[in-house]
Amino acid sequence: MLERFYPDEWVNSAYEIPYEKLYEQGVRGIIFDIDNTLVCHGAPADERAIALFARFHRLGMKTCLLSNNREPRVQPFAEQVGSAYIHKAGKPGAKGYERAMALMGTDRQTTLFVGDQIFTDIYGANRAGIRTVLTKPIDPHEEIQIVLKRYLEAVVLFFYRRKCRNVRQQCL
């Protein structure tokens, strides 16, 4: 039952993922959450985020920002990094992820999702059948409803780590 909340991989940061290797493996589009995945909650795109998206453009990878936030938050960030976007995405529903793939011209096999929350980001991408990467949140200071979800996420991650040890698979 908990498996639907498990990421395919778990990393410290979206900035340490080997995107060139993923491109070689056939990934052509990446869907990103914004807040606490790419920047602190509510922050504009910083130099690191802009450089990351420039790297995708050089590789020929498509990107789409998928956020439950309103357009005034998402649209300026998307412009700064040069990405397609979907605001009020309705995560964890699968429709937003499917719309993102349509915008990028990718499918489930050629798309990766990167986000910091299990119950919205990872669960939604799993429901859409997309490969997932969970990142640790950038900033530990979050809104109370997210802080409460983090306690539940800790339970899921406990069992995720145990599963990884038991089946001897690589879990980052």
User: Predicted confidence band at 139 (pLDDT cuts at 50, 70, 90)?
Assistant: confident
Its CATH class, for the domain covering 2-167, is alpha beta
Helix (H) or strand (E) holding 50: helix 47-59
87-134 confidence digits (pLDDT tens): 999 999 999 999 999 999 999 999 999 999 888 899 999 999 999 999
- Domain residues of the chain, as ranges? 2-167
Helix, strand, or coil (residue 168): coil
pTM for the predicted model, two decimal places:
0.84
142-163 confidence digits (pLDDT tens): 565 666 666 566 666 666 666 6
Q: Is the model's pLDDT at 70 over the cut of 70?
A: yes
How many CA atoms lie less than 13 Å away from 18 in the CB half-sphere?
7
Helix (H) or strand (E) holding 32: strand 29-32
